[in-house]
Structure 1
Amino acid sequence: MVNPWAGEVALCLDGERRVCKLTLGALAELEAALETGTLIDLVERFEAGRFSTRDVLALVVAGLRGGGWDGTGTDLLRSDIGGGPVEAARVGAMLLARAFSLPDAAP
C-alpha cells in the first residue's frame, strides 16, 4: 500500500510492486541526471506535455531509488514496467505532483 501523503506512488517492475518516492536525495540525483535545466523546468515540461522519454526514465529511477531500490537507469532499461511507457509517464507525473503538493482527499 502506498501513502500519497508521504508522496508515494506504486509501480510494477518486473512483476513486483514497488514503492516510488521523491525524497530529497532522490531529487538531488534527479537534478544531476537531468544535466540541464532545473526541477522547475522538468515540472513545466510535464505540465505542458513536452517531456521526453529521458525525463520519464530519470524520474522513475529517482522515484524507485527514493523508495529503496538499488538499481540504475541501465537496470531500468532492461526491466519490464507493468503498463509500459504510458504507465511510466503517469508514475513520473504523479511523483512530481506528490513531491510538490498535497494529495487530493479522493482515493
Structure 2
Amino acid sequence: MANARRGEIEAVIDGRAQVLCLTLGALAELETAFAVDNLAALAQRFATGELAARDLIRVIGAGLRGGGASVSDDEVAAMQFDGGVAGCAQMVGALLAITFGTAERVPADP
C-alpha cells in the first residue's frame, strides 16, 4: 500500500498493484537520464508536460525501483498499464506531482 507522506503512489501495472516512489536515488538517476544538473532543472523539464514515451519509461522505471522493485527500463517498456497510454501518462503525472509537491499530501500529524 502506498504512503503519500513518503511520496509514494500506487498504480496497477501488468494487472498488479505496484508502489512507485521517486527517492533521492531515483531522482539522481533521472537527472542523469535527462542530462540536467539539479532538481530544479529536472522539475522544470517535467513542467513542460512534453514527455516522450521513452521519458515515461524512464520515470516509471525509476519510480518502481524507488518503490523497491528490481526492474530494468527494457522490462518497463514491455509492461501493460491500466488505462493504456493515457493511464500511463496520468500515473507519471501523479508521481511527479506528489514528488515535486504539486499534489495534495496528507497533512503531517501535529
- Superposition TM-score tier, normalisation by shorter sequence: 0.7 to 0.9
Q: Which runs of 4+ in 1 moved over 6 A?
A: none
The question of 1:50 aligning with 2:50 is answered yes
In structure 2, relative to structure 1, the CA distance for the partners of 1:105 and 1:97 (3 Å cut) is closer
In structure 2, relative to structure 1, the CA distance for the partners of 1:105 and 1:14 (3 Å cut) is closer
Q: What one-letter code is carried by the residue in structure 2 that aligns with 1:64?
A: L
Q: Using structure 1 for the length normalisation, give the TM-score.
A: 0.82
- Paired position in structure 1 for 2:3: 3
Secondary structure of the corresponding residue to residue 85 of structure 1: helix
Q: What one-letter code is carried by the residue in structure 1 that aligns with 2:88?
A: A
- What is the number of residues matched between the two proteins? 105
Structure-2 separation of matches of 1:69 and 1:103: 24
Structure-2 separation of matches of 1:102 and 1:42: 14
- Which consecutive residues of structure 2, in runs of 5 or more, have no partner in the other structure? none
In structure 2, relative to structure 1, the CA distance for the partners of 1:31 and 1:62 (3 Å cut) is same
| Bigger share in helix | 1
Q: What one-letter code is carried by the residue in structure 2 that aligns with 1:54?
A: R
Structure-to-structure mapping, 1:61-80, within 5 angstroms: 61-80=61-80
- Which consecutive residues of structure 1, in runs of 5 or more, have no partner in the other structure? none
Secondary structure of the corresponding residue to residue 79 of structure 2: coil
In structure 2, relative to structure 1, the CA distance for the partners of 1:42 and 1:85 (3 Å cut) is farther
Structure-to-structure mapping, 1:11-90, within 5 angstroms: 11-34=11-34, 36-38=35-37, 39-90=39-90
- Paired position in structure 1 for 2:95: 95
My pick for the range that moved more, 94-103 or 10-19, is 94-103
Q: Deviations over 1:1-59 (max 9, x none)?
A: 3221211111211111000000111111222222x235544433443322222221111
Secondary structure of the corresponding residue to residue 37 of structure 1: coil
Structure-2 separation of matches of 1:100 and 1:49: 14
Percent identity between matched residues is: 37
